[in-house]
């Protein structure tokens, strides 16, 4: 053992514990940083036993320690609820994939995203959130990740595809008596149209349903032709038959007085004057034998309910993200439409990722390549909206590490002073 070896070992101890103090300082400084992962400096000895001239007992040569930074990437922080739907957190394994300002890809768990002036979702470091573009039903349109832009759709209207009617026709009405109801529907451009459904009694327990050509609700102008079933169908005229209990028994679609269907044909509107697509509307008058539908009982005509879907134009009002990563734009008319799906990237060894600043990380040989998965499937965690992951820094742990580093640093300086005194004594002996 040499005095110089003791000095070298003490100096490595000083470096190690100074790094430990710096790591603790970083952790405390980032205690409120979203998704920050605490770091810890770990020591590895470089002291090795060496044989002395073939003797059975090895001699000892001091070598000190080396330090390596360890990140607790595999330890999740608590999730804190926020008021923003664009605040995202991964509950479980995985990272968001982001594009940095230089155009390169990175990985982060910091999910405080906001639309920038171009509509791209970016985090506090300016990284654009990446996802797969989808159609309105959430089906992927490709396999290439692209920056998510919530201004992709400026507004939306939805055409009516269903009319549900619940009403009672008077059983004691004379043949030829009529009962009518006007139903408002919307075309693909969001224009409100009026359709009049007319029921005319044609015999005992029998009536004929006819539906008028649509008119624009705001102006009364004609807008297309109403057909039965399809674009090639006749003008809408269908026989409705009831049983002796006053409930629907079926529909006569060809006018021969014989029931040939348990459901009425759909309503097809062609030739819209507004420039909208043709309308294809399913008509629901209730099931055969079901009192919750069209009925025929004694008394007056009574309308119970009309239910239709469809919506007028509405601008984008906000964004929502589901647990499986589906990004949808919500519109002012109450409709929503899927535009992207946010994936989650998982790593075999997340602690091997290299920090690149701004809460981002890059893959290394130690971490392995990222596996892009759908959120909530396989080993990938689910995505929680209106939430941010907090740092996993523990004050108690950091306080303990600071004390340990302080004590070890003090002992290392004591060793240096002692080694210096010993060296001085040796010089005095030889002088």
Judged against a pLDDT cut of 60, whether residue 273 lies above it is answered with yes
> 107-165, pLDDT tens digit by residue?
999 999 988 888 889 988 888 999 999 987 888 888 899 999 887 666 667 889 999 99
Final residue before a domain boundary, out of 291, 309, 327 = 309
Instruction: Say yes or no: 166 and 291 in one domain.
Output: yes
Question: Which SS3 state, helix, strand or coil, does residue 425 take?
Answer: helix
Instruction: Say yes or no: 362 and 375 in one domain.
Output: yes
Instruction: Say yes or no: 151 and 250 in one domain.
Output: no
Judged against a pLDDT cut of 90, whether residue 356 lies above it is answered with no
* pLDDT at residue 248 in the model: 94
Which segment of 240-244, 371-375, 378-382, 405-409 scores lowest on mean pLDDT? 405-409
Confidence bin at 166 (pLDDT 50/70/90): very high
Instruction: Say yes or no: 322 and 278 in one domain.
Output: no
CATH of the domain at 274: 2.60.98.20
Is 173 in contact with 203 (CB distance < 8 Å)? no
Cα separation of 230 and 415, whole Å?
95
Cα separation of 95 and 108, whole Å?
5
Instruction: Say yes or no: 177 and 266 in one domain.
Output: yes
Is 253 in contact with 238 (CB distance < 8 Å)? yes
Final residue before a domain boundary, out of 281, 309, 337 = 309
| Nearest Cα to Cα of residue 19 among 80, 70, 57 | 70
Top pLDDT among 405 and 47 is at 405
* pLDDT at residue 68 in the model: 80
Please state the domain count of the chain. Answer: 3
Instruction: Say yes or no: 104 and 187 in one domain.
Output: no
pTM: 0.64
Is 330 in contact with 319 (CB distance < 8 Å)? yes
The two structure tokens encoding residue 346 = 């998982």
Instruction: Say yes or no: 320 and 188 in one domain.
Output: no
* pLDDT at residue 12 in the model: 84
| Nearest Cα to Cα of residue 187 among 155, 212, 215 | 215
Judged against a pLDDT cut of 90, whether residue 72 lies above it is answered with no
Instruction: Say yes or no: 304 and 370 in one domain.
Output: no
Judged against a pLDDT cut of 70, whether residue 93 lies above it is answered with yes
Enclosing domain of residue 194: 160-309
Is 355 in contact with 71 (CB distance < 8 Å)? yes
Final residue before a domain boundary, out of 279, 309, 339 = 309
Instruction: Say yes or no: 346 and 416 in one domain.
Output: no
Instruction: Say yes or no: 381 and 404 in one domain.
Output: no
Is 225 in contact with 269 (CB distance < 8 Å)? yes
The DSSP line for 138-152 is S-BS-S--EE-BTTS
Q: Which helix (H) or strand (E) holds 70?
A: strand 65-71
Top pLDDT among 349 and 137 is at 349
Instruction: Say yes or no: 63 and 104 in one domain.
Output: no
The whole-number average pLDDT for the span 335-357 is 89
* pLDDT at residue 136 in the model: 77
> 384-403, pLDDT tens digit by residue?
999 999 999 988 888 998 99
Instruction: Say yes or no: 179 and 287 in one domain.
Output: yes
* pLDDT at residue 105 in the model: 80
- Match 């701004």 to its residue by tokens: 358
The two structure tokens encoding residue 150 = 């919530």
Residues 6+ apart with CB under 8 A from 171: 205, 246, 296, 297, 298, 299
- Match 């000095």 to its residue by tokens: 7
């Amino acid at each position: 053992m040499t005095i110089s070896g003791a000095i070298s070992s003490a100096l490595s101890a000083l470096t190690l514990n100074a790094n430990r103090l710096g790591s603790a300082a970083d952790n405390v400084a980032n205690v409120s940083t979203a998704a920050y992962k605490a770091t810890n400096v770990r020591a590895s000895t470089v002291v090795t036993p060496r044989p002395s001239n073939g003797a059975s007992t090895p001699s000892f040569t001091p070598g000190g320690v080396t330090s390596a930074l360890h990140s607790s990437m595999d330890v999740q922080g608590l999730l804190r609820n926020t008021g923003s739907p664009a605040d995202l957190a991964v509950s479980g394994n995985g990272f968001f994939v982001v594009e940095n300002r230089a155009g390169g890809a990175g990985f982060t768990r910091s999910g405080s995203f906001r639309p920038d002036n171009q509509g791209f979702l970016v985090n506090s470091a300016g990284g654009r959130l990446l996802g797969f573009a989808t159609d309105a039903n959430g089906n992927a349109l490709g396999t290439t990740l692209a920056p998510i832009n919530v201004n992709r759709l400026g507004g939306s209207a939805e055409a009516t595809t269903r009319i549900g009617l619940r009403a009672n026709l008077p059983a004691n009405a004379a043949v030829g008596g009529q009962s009518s109801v006007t139903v408002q529907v919307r075309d693909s451009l969001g224009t409100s149209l009026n359709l009049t459904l007319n029921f005319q009694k044609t015999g005992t327990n029998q009536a004929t349903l006819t539906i008028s050509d649509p008119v624009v609700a705001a102006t009364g102008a004609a807008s297309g032709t109403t057909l039965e079933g399809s674009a090639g169908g006749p003008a809408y005229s269908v026989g409705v038959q009831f049983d002796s209990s006053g409930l629907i028994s079926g529909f006569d679609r060809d006018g021969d007085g014989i029931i040939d269907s348990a459901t009425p044909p759909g309503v097809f509107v062609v030739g819209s004057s507004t420039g909208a697509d043709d309308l294809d509307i399913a008509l629901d008058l209730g099931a055969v034998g079901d009192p919750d539908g069209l009925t025929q009982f004694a008394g007056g005509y009574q309308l119970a309910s009309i239910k239709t879907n469809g919506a007028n134009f509405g601008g984008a009002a906000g964004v929502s993200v589901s647990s499986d990563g589906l990004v949808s734009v919500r519109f002012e008319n109450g409709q929503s439409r899927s535009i992207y799906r946010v994936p989650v990237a998982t790593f075999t060894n997340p602690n091997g990722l290299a920090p690149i600043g701004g809460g981002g990380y890059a893959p290394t040989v130690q971490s392995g390549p990222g596996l892009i998965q759908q959120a909530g499937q396989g080993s990938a965690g689910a995505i929680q909206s209106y939430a941010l992951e907090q740092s996993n820094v523990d004050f108690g742990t950091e306080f303990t590490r600071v004390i340990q580093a302080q004590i070890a640093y003090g002992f290392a300086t004591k060793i240096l002073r002692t080694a210096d005194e010993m060296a001085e004594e040796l010089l005095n002996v030889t002088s």
